[in-house]
Amino acid sequence: MGRIRILPDNVANKIAAGEVVERPASVVKELLENSLDAGATRVRIDVEAGGKRRIQVVDDGCGMGRDDAMLAFERHATSKLRSAEDLLSISTLGFRGEALPTIGAVSRLLLETHSPEEREGTRVEINGGKLIAVDDAGLPSGTSITVNDLFYNTPARRKFLRAESTELSHISSLVTHYALAYPDKSFQLRTATGDLVNVSPAASLRDRVFQLLGQETLDEIIEFGPLVKNLELPAHATPPGEAPERPEIRFRGFLSRPQIQKLNRNSIYLFVNRRMVRDRVLLHAIQEAYRNLMPGHCFPVALLFLEMPHTEVDVNVHPSKVEVRFRHQTLVHDLVRDTLREALIAARPLPAFPEPAANATGAMESGGRNTIHTTTPSAALTLTSPTVQPATERFPFHAASPLSGEGAPTMRELTDALYSPGQFTVTAASEIAAAVVPSATVTENPDQPMDLRELRPLGQVRDSFIVASSASGLWLIDQHAAHERVLYEKFVFDRDQGAVESQRMLMPYILRLTPAQMSLWSTTLSEMERSGFEAEPFGQNTIAVKAVPASVRSDDVEKLLRELIETFERESRGYTDETARQRIAASVACHSAIKINTPLEPRKMEWLIAALSATRFPMSCAHGRPTVLRYGMKEILKAFHRI
Ligand code: ADP
Ligand code: MG
């Protein structure tokens, strides 16, 4: 008895309608998904002329019997779905029963398949949707589908196809995605000029990433997970008397260090239940995780694999099945954002200097590859600090203030620490660090001596960059960026506590705005007030600013206000309170922080380094630029030809 059934109308009608075959890559996607659903362990894809002339997908999966081989070309014929309820919990990649008939309608298709349950295999030939021949044939078990002359009978569609190389790059991205999602299987993508993908079963996800993306990418990324988290549904979502539902989400993947910045999203690979997806909720969550670690227009390298109950994700949203809808969209978003951010915090990756020889070419190449590297990827880069800061919500200096003796230092004090000489007793760096990092978490690893707390400042370059040394090498610290990071974290903390200290201006600051800016101002007003600003309308299109956060330097008030308004204007379409909060904090930190071209005494440099090391994200400033660069001992020894 065959497995395939034609879906009854009431089920078929519930399936997202629309065309699945737009281009060669969509054919490859459907065929590849069918092979994976058929339990294949090896899939080979041959492509000619970017898939326009020929696509063949061969698998060693369960194959089809003769009846199924013919039924498969009927619309809504599938072995993967029976009832409308099944649609709520789809565990296979396919479920629509539409791919084969659709592909068969726009090509010359040959299906060769053999199920081990039958003595012989079957060969089915279809031309432009017409059944040409069905024959028995001696075939190996598994399935081969050859799609020749795609869109030969729909010239309008054929005209829309891009250059062969473009179509091929879509196909190869697709095969790469599925090969990442199924590391235990073999994938081969062959073209006339050679294999674009050829991977045998990998022992781990990491090995599969290495096979497909190479050591260079592996050097850029940090592995995280597997982690199990729960979606905490609000109490009102639970019927009275029942235990609250806590759907489990499993996370694993890879994230790049923040200084690896791509100009597009092509290096973000998203999977939900091993299905490749393009999803705005997840993309946004990733960007949020990197907020203030990376400039807003840049993207990380990220491979994110989520597993969740099938009932939590609706894949029946769009015919191509790459879009999904989460049942608890906001909860998923926030959980992903927080989990990734924690993973980044735990890794505390720090930038390093480029290798001396690679410097010039590295910079040139990176333009061509759409990549900005503030570092050259190299095996010499050390990823993590052995000291992982606990992800405490408290600003570290609250633990025991080395600055003001009792209680926590204020934002103002953290600002003045660098400006006004001798106002505070500056404790040795090591003591500050000891006060903020529980000693149990401090483990030294001679191979990864990345701990900022060991740094000894030696002096400044141009009164702007602190030069420091440690056993691990030579360091440069951007004093403004470093101070900005410290103040940013403190400000966010204060703001969340409702404890931003503000200063009244002697004279209100009068700001003329355009009508558009004026309405933006009123949108952001409550967020501005929570952040220590006080302003009132003052005639038409004019506001009087009466108070600003206490740490902001008086010469910077105007710049700060202008900058904020411009930022809000630029980002008005995506405005949320959350982004406003971040932007305000970043600007306040920037306009409170020590400037470059400011001489610093040794103990202040020491203080700044210690303060930086106590932050959650010491490696970049609030705008995502690096705070420190390291010239590792190994590179130094190499450069002097000592190793
Ligand atoms: P769907 O995948 O949505 O069920 P398709 O049109 O892609 O619809 O395929 C129809 C049916 O043909 C599948 O349900 C499956 O039973 C069968 N089939 C397709 N490709 C293969 C394959 N490579 N190996 C085994 N069975 C297959
Ligand atoms: Mg299918």
Most confident option among 41-50, 229-238, 338-347, 557-566: 41-50
Instruction: Give the bridge partners for 6, in sequence order.
Output: 77
**Residue of the CA atom closest to atom 25 of ligand 1:** 63
Residues in the chain: 643
What is the secondary structure of 156-223 as a DSSP string? HHHHT---HHHHHHHHHHHHHHHHHH-TTSEEEEEETTEEEEEEPPPSSHHHHHHHHHHHHHHHHEEE
| 114 CB neighbour count, 10 Å cutoff | 26
Please state the atom number of ligand 1 nearest to the C-alpha of residue 96. 3
Q: What band does 163 get if pLDDT is binned at 50, 70 and 90?
A: confident
What's the one-letter identity of residue 384? T
More confident site: 11 or 600: 600
Nearest ligand to the CA of 4 is 1
* pLDDT attached to residue 118: 94
| Residue-level pLDDT at 281 | 94
Q: What is the pLDDT of residues 403-462, one digit of tens each?
A: 333 456 778 878 877 776 544 444 444 444 433 333 323 343 333 335 677 889 999 999
Of all ligands present, the nearest one to the C-alpha of 63 is 1
The C-alpha atoms of residue 150 and residue 255 are separated, in whole angstroms, by 38
Confidence class of residue 385 from pLDDT cuts 50, 70 and 90?
very low
- Find the ligand nearest to 72 CA: 1
Q: How far, CA to CA in Å, does 582 sit from each of 213, 496, 546, 573, 579?
A: 34, 11, 22, 16, 5
- What pLDDT is stored for residue 107 in this prediction? 95
pLDDT at 86: 86
The residues near 66 (Cβ < 8 Å, ≥ 6 apart) are: 118, 122, 134, 136
240-274 residues labelled b (16+ CB within 10 A) or e (exposed): eeeeeeebebebbbbbbbbbbbbeeeebbbbbbbe
Which pLDDT belongs to residue 375?
32
The DSSP code for 554 is G
* Residue nearest atom 7 in ligand 1 by C-alpha distance: 99
Q: What is the pLDDT of residue 532?
A: 95
Could you tell me which of 429, 343, 326 has the C-alpha nearest to residue 383?
A: 343
* pLDDT of 480 over the 90 cut: yes
Dist CA 567 CA 376 (whole Å): 31
Percentage of the chain modeled with pLDDT above 90: 47
Q: Nearest residue CA, atom 23 of ligand 1? A: 35
Substitution candidate for ligand 1 out of 78, 109, 178, 318 with most atoms within 8 A of CB: 78
| 127: pLDDT strictly greater than 80 | yes
Grouping H, G, I as helix, E, B as strand and the rest as coil, residue 241 is: coil
| N-terminal to C-terminal alpha carbon distance within the chain | 70
Ligand 1 neighbours by CB, cut-off 6 Å: 3-4, 30, 34-35, 38, 59, 61-64, 72, 77-80, 94-100, 143
pLDDT attached to residue 84 = 84
Mean pLDDT of 538-557: 89
